[in-house]
Amino acid sequence: MEGFIGRRGLIEPQRLRAFSRRSNLKGFVQLGGHAGAILLTGLALHVTWGSWWAVPVFIAHGILLNFLYAGQHELSHSTVFKTRWLNEVVGRAIGFLMFYPRDFDQIQHFAHHRHTQDWAKDGELDRPPYTLSGHLIYLAGFSYWTSRLARILRFAVGRVPEPYIPADKRALVIGEARWLLIGYAIVAAASLALQTWAAVIFWLAPMLATKSVHQLQNTMEHLGLTHEANTLENTRTVRTNAVMRWMAWNMQYHTAHHTYPAVPFHALPQLHAEIVARTGREPHSMTYLGFQRELIRKLSGGRSESDYPQNESWILDPSEQPRAATSHAQA
């Protein structure tokens, strides 16, 4: 994946190498800050448990847990740490917490990068087109968690039908799923032996209950944009605040990430600015709630994702409409 570039010729190789430098220090600062915040909310949840103050703490704790996937994503790209084995070890630990096996996630995600928005090959489009009800169920997190758990169980019994998983990698994801199930069984057995609900209170319940906040990020990175093979057109950047950017490891700069996926999270703001300067315009961008409002409007009335042409963008910020019309006319 390190050799993959979504847009050649846009930025000079020397400049791109500067953006692509990895740093153990910056990786530990980001990971340590995120893990430290989770420890703090976990301690606060312990202190406030049984009172109404536990409700907002529970929500904050769950959101922080869910956004750990942003770290796993970057670790799969091996861009968090300069020391390569650290990316794998920490990525596997987070994958265990997320019910998202690291090897499977890496295979699926690399297929997503190489074939973004290609329905037949993009591993993250391995789903039917959204309807309004299907989207809302996914946004709430119900189908997200059931599909992840079902996949681990399916892999563990040797069933790997995903077309984007090469035949020579199937034994890898099967073994990984079985190791994860052993780990979960150990956690369950220890909880029963110690007669403690700690794993549920501080891990499972808050993470499962607050998935919808993380889904705001997951659902808007590509949905409603053209399926043409152009990362500057098929990927969306998110407009949000500094806290959300920190928690998502700068993945809101998603157009920059897809265009040059070997660039570490900490350099994405600078890369984004460079791309804007080179292209002369901002990438497709929306706010979290603005995107959801527009998507719900477009899927209302019994419409589905399949009612819109794949070679056109159909969810755009109102400020982008003139640009879209101009691009269509030029085409």
pLDDT digit string, tens, across residues 101-152: 999 999 999 999 999 999 999 998 988 999 999 999 999 999 999 999 999 9
- The residues pairing with 237 across neighbouring beta strands, listed in sequence order, are 285
Instruction: Residue 2: count other Cβ atoms within 10 Å of its Cβ.
Output: 10
- Amino acid letter at 269? P
pTM recorded for the entire structure: 0.93
| 244 Cβ contact partners less than 8 Å away, ≥ 6 residues apart | 238, 252
pLDDT digit string, tens, across residues 227-272: 999 999 999 999 999 999 999 999 999 999 999 999 999 999 999 9
Calpha distance 177→156 (Å, rounded): 5
Apex 324 CA angle, 322 and 327, nearest 5:
110
pLDDT digit string, tens, across residues 157-215: 999 999 999 999 999 999 999 999 999 999 999 999 999 999 999 999 999 999 999 99
